[in-house]
Amino acid sequence: GENVGLHLPTLSVQEGDNSIINCAYSNSASDYFIWYKQESGKGPQFIIDIRSNMDKRQGQRVTVLLNKTVKHLSLQIAATQPGDSAVYFCAEDSGSARQLTFGSGTQLTVLP
Amino acid sequence: NAGVTQTPKFQVLKTGQSMTLQCAQDMNHNSMYWYRQDPGMGLRLIYYSASEGTTDKGEVPNGYNVSRLNKREFSLRLESAAPSQTSVYFCASTGLQGPYEQYFGPGTRLTVT
């Protein structure tokens, strides 16, 4: 099957800087994308989503960008804080029964 | 409102033993899912239940069975555990309408020796 993958497995940023986490997807028919945050020992937590008819969506300190031409998704976190340290997953809808296909994740570490 | 709950949190089994992982949600969601997460990897779908009374295989169903007991509860059973099933198991649920956002439980860490 087609997979969702990430460019960088680890990312370290200074506290206060902006973070950008990237994701490449291969299913051009995917209509819906989600970013999840997973802290150590916990289940994934929804951050933000975007539909394929949009190219940008903003939340609180987070922005998701979608480039369908190159099948690329990114998550931008503004003014990164220590509490942002976690693994971030992108996921895309699999087209049936509300299933999601998850990428392998990026570990974000915020340095003091 | 507890969201998605899972029991147990931790479990150690010997090869060949059986066990059932329990999951319950109190959000009146129609669809429920079981995933496994191995180190350094994303979540892989084991089984899902699109609605009460239905279950379907996901990406990695071998060695597992599921039961959608009612709208709230969805259990995952390992009939004869194998070391390859050592993993962290997550249950999730989502509603029938609106976005695909899935709500996840805290996970069960299973070790098979």
> What b/e string do you get for B20-44 counting C-beta neighbours within 10 Å, with b at 16 or more?
ebbbbbeeebbbbbbbbbeeeebbb
Which of the two residues, A85 and A104, has the higher pLDDT score? A85
pLDDT, residue A8, reads 45
CB contact at 8 A, B88 and B108: yes
Residues 6+ apart with CB under 8 A from A53: none
Please indicate whether, in this complex, the C-beta atoms of B100 and A34 are within 8 angstroms of each other: yes
Chain B positions touching A99 (Cβ under 8 A) are: 33, 45, 48, 58
Q: Check CB contact of B42 with chain A, cutoff 8 Å.
A: yes
pLDDT at B99 over 70: no
Which of the two residues, B99 and B25, has the higher pLDDT score? B25
pLDDT at B109 over 90: yes
Closest-CA distance of chain B to residue A78, Å = 23
CA A103, CA A25: separation in Å to the nearest integer? 9
pLDDT band per the 50, 70, 90 thresholds, residue B89: very high
User: Which of B66, B49, B35, B61 is CA-nearest to residue A36?
Assistant: B35
pLDDT tens-digit map of B23-70: 999 999 999 999 999 887 789 999 999 888 899 999 899 999 999 989
Which of the two residues, B39 and A87, has the higher pLDDT score? A87
Chain B positions touching A57 (Cβ under 8 A) are: none
Side chain identity, residue B47:
Y
pLDDT, residue A3, reads 42
pLDDT band per the 50, 70, 90 thresholds, residue A2: very low
Please indicate whether, in this complex, the C-beta atoms of B42 and A43 are within 8 angstroms of each other: no
CA B113, CA B13: separation in Å to the nearest integer? 6
Average pLDDT along chain B = 92
Q: How many CB pairs under 8 A join A and B?
A: 56
Chain A positions touching B42 (Cβ under 8 A) are: 4, 89, 102-105
CB contact at 8 A, B32 and B68: yes
Cα–Cα distances in Å, from A4 out to A8, A110, B43, B82?
13, 25, 11, 28
